[in-house]
Amino acid sequence: MNGADRLCDVLLTNDVEVCFANPGTSEMHFVAALDRKPQMRCVLGLFEGVVTAAADGYARMAEKPAATLLHLGPGLANGLANLHNAKRARTPMINIVGDHASYHLQHDAPLTSDIESLARPMSHWVGRVEGPEDVGRATAEAYKAAMSLPGIATLILPADAAWGEVASSAVEQTKVPTPTTAPEEALGAAVAAIRSGGRTALLLTGRALRADALEIAGRIADATGVRLLAQMSNGRIERGIGRVPVTKVPYPVDEAVAALRDIDNLILIGAKVPVAFFAYPGKPGRLIRDDCEVIEFARPGDDLRNELARLAEELGVRPDAPAPVVQYGTGLDYPRSGQLTADAITLAVAALMPEKAIICDEAVTSGRRFFNLSQRSAPHDYIQLTGGAIGIGIPLAIGAAVACPDRKVIGLQADGSGMYTVQGLWTQARENLDIVTIIFANRSYAILQGEMRNVGVNNFGHNARRMLNIDDPALDWVSMANGMGVEAGRAETIEDFLNLFRGALARRGPFLIEAVI
C-alpha cells in the first residue's frame, strides 16, 4: 500500500466517510486510493468554494468532519472565503491539500506556492506530511485537531508521500482528547453574576444552541430570570416548536446596542463579546455597555452542553423542571395572493416548511426578518452565513443534504451572493440532493446600497450604480439552473410562488425558484 491508502484508512477508521473534492495532477495517487475505497463518498464540486462550503454544511449537520481534496495553493486559495466562514462557525473539517513531490519543489514549477502561508489564516491547525511513513501520524493529528479545537485542520500532502510505499499495518481509531472543562473560578463567577441581582444574560453559540443544551439554558432562565441570547451568527441552531426559543444579537449597530443596553453581566457560553460587523464613524465597536461585566465561562473547546448542566446544578436548578419550549399553536399565517415581496416569501416558508427542515440562510437583506418570523415554525435547523464572506449558501445546502438525506433542505438565497458559487447547483443535480433553493431576485446589491445611504450618499452616480446594481442584464436563474440539471421555475406573484414552493416540497430532488421581488 502507499501513503494515500494509509491516509484513506485513517480517515475511514475515524468515520470520516465523505470527501468533497476538486482534484488535480498532484493528487492523482490520492484519487486512485479513494477509488479503492467504495465506503468513501466522493462528491465533486466544480469550484473549490463549493467544496469547502459543502464540507462546512456537512459537518454542521453530521456533527463530524468531512475531508476536502484541494489542488495545491491555487485550489486551496479558491476555497479560502468559505473556509473563513467555516472557521468562524468552528466547523470541524480536514482539508487535504496536494503539493508537488518534495524533490520537485526546488524547480519552482508553475503551480508551486507557499501553501502553509495560504492555509494559516483560515485554518486552526496546519500540518505537512513529511514522507510516506508519516502519513498515518499526520492524518491522525489533523483529525484530532479538527475534533478537539474544534475547527479547520489543513494537511498538506506532497505527491511523493502519497505514492511512496508504506508497510501495511492495522490502523487504530485516533484518540481525541476529552473536551476541556471551564475552571471552577469561572463557574463561581458565573453563579455569582446570576445571583448578584444585576440583569444577566447567557450568550450562547456552537453546541449550546442544540435543542438539549437549550433546554438546560431555558431551565436556568426560568429559575433565575437570566436572558438567553445567541451570537449574531452561529453554525447551527435547533429551533421551532418544541425547542427553547433564543433571540440573536441583531446585525444593525443601533438595534444591537439597544438590545444589549440593559445587560449588567454577560456570561459567555462558547461565544465572543458582541461587536459591530463593521466600524462606523461615531458608533461603538463593542456592542455591550462599557461597564457590563463579561464572564468568560465556557470556551469553544469545552463541552458546552455539559458546562450548561454544571451551571444549572450549581444554581440548584431542577433538571426535571419543564423547559420553556415553544408550544404548538395555531398555524402561522401567510399571504395567499398579491405582489411578491421578501416578507411574503419569508412568511410562506416559515408557515409551510416541513418538520425537520434544514434552513440554509444566505438571504442577506431579504431574509432579515426570517429568524424572528420562524420562531414558531415546525421544528427545524437553522444554518447560516457565519463569517460574512458571501457565496456560501448553495454549497452549504449541498453539505447539509449529503449529511441528512431524509430531510428537506431549503436554501434562502440572495441573488448576488448566489452567483459566487452558482456552480454548486450542478453538484445538487448530480447527487440528486433534496434541496429547494429560493432565489430572492432583487437584482441588486441591496445591502451595499443601504450602506451607501448610511454614509450619507442618497443620489447614486454612474459608477455607484454600476457597482451596486445587477439588473442589466437580469440574471436568468431558471436557465442557469436548467443548464446545470436543476429543474426551476420563476415566480412573479405570491400565487406563482406558493404553487412552485408547494410543488417543490411535495417532490424529492433539487428544485430552484427564482422569486422576482
Ligand X SMILES: Cc1ncc(C[n+]2csc(CCOP(=O)(O)OP(=O)(O)O)c2C)c(N)n1
Which conformational region is residue 485 in: left (phi greater than 0), alpha (psi within -120 to 50 degrees), or beta? left
Strand 237-239 relative to strand 380-384: parallel, antiparallel, unpaired?
antiparallel
Query: Using the rule CB under 6 A, is 371 a contact of ligand X?
Result: no
Toward ligand X, which CB reaches closer, 14 or 366? 366
Toward ligand X, which CB reaches closer, 57 or 300? 57
Query: Using the rule CB under 6 A, is 11 a contact of ligand X?
Result: no
Q: What is the DSSP letter of 421?
A: G
Toward ligand X, which CB reaches closer, 377 or 417? 417
Instruction: Give CA separation, 491 vs 14, 335, 479, 495, 513, in Å.
Output: 45, 15, 14, 8, 7
Among 46, 176, 448, 464, binds ligand X (CB under 6 A): 448
Among 220, 360, 390, 429, binds ligand X (CB under 6 A): 390
Smallest separation (angstroms) from ligand X to the CB of 367: 8
Structure-block grid coordinates of residue 270: 462558547
Q: How far is CA 45 from the centre of its chain?
A: 17
What are the DSSP E strand ranges found in 416-506?
A: 435-441, 487-491
Query: Using the rule CB under 6 A, is 389 a contact of ligand X?
Result: yes
Smallest separation (angstroms) from ligand X to the CB of 232: 14
Query: Using the rule CB under 6 A, is 411 a contact of ligand X?
Result: no
Smallest separation (angstroms) from ligand X to the CB of 441: 9
CB count in 10 Å sphere of residue 179 = 19
Among 416, 424, 489, 510, binds ligand X (CB under 6 A): 416
Size of the site for ligand X (CB under 6 A): 18
Both ends of the chain: CA-CA distance in Å? 57
Toward ligand X, which CB reaches closer, 176 or 448? 448
CB count in 10 Å sphere of residue 310 = 21
Toward ligand X, which CB reaches closer, 430 or 443? 443
Smallest separation (angstroms) from ligand X to the CB of 413: 8
Query: Using the rule CB under 6 A, is 477 a contact of ligand X?
Result: no
| Cα separation, 65 vs 92, whole angstroms | 5
Rounded to a whole number of angstroms, the CA Rg of the chain reads 24
Query: Using the rule CB under 6 A, is 365 a contact of ligand X?
Result: yes
Query: Using the rule CB under 6 A, is 417 a contact of ligand X?
Result: yes
Among 26, 78, 139, 442, binds ligand X (CB under 6 A): 442
Query: Using the rule CB under 6 A, is 439 a contact of ligand X?
Result: no
Select from 205, 201, 245 the least CA-distant residue to 227.
Answer: 201
Query: Using the rule CB under 6 A, is 445 a contact of ligand X?
Result: yes
Select from 425, 434, 234 the least CA-distant residue to 354.
Answer: 434
| Cα separation, 448 vs 165, whole angstroms | 54
| Cα separation, 238 vs 246, whole angstroms | 10
Toward ligand X, which CB reaches closer, 242 or 388? 388
Toward ligand X, which CB reaches closer, 112 or 341? 341
Query: Using the rule CB under 6 A, is 364 a contact of ligand X?
Result: yes
Select from 434, 384, 356 the least CA-distant residue to 85.
Answer: 384
Among 232, 414, 433, 513, binds ligand X (CB under 6 A): 414
Among 13, 113, 224, 444, binds ligand X (CB under 6 A): 444
Query: Using the rule CB under 6 A, is 97 a contact of ligand X?
Result: no
- Angle 143-146-151 from CA coordinates, rounded to 5°: 165
Smallest separation (angstroms) from ligand X to the CB of 364: 3
Instruction: Give CA separation, 93 vs 233, 236, 313, in Å.
Output: 19, 15, 33
Query: Using the rule CB under 6 A, is 346 a contact of ligand X?
Result: no
Interface contacts to ligand X, rule CB under 6 A: 81, 364-366, 388-391, 414-417, 442, 444-448
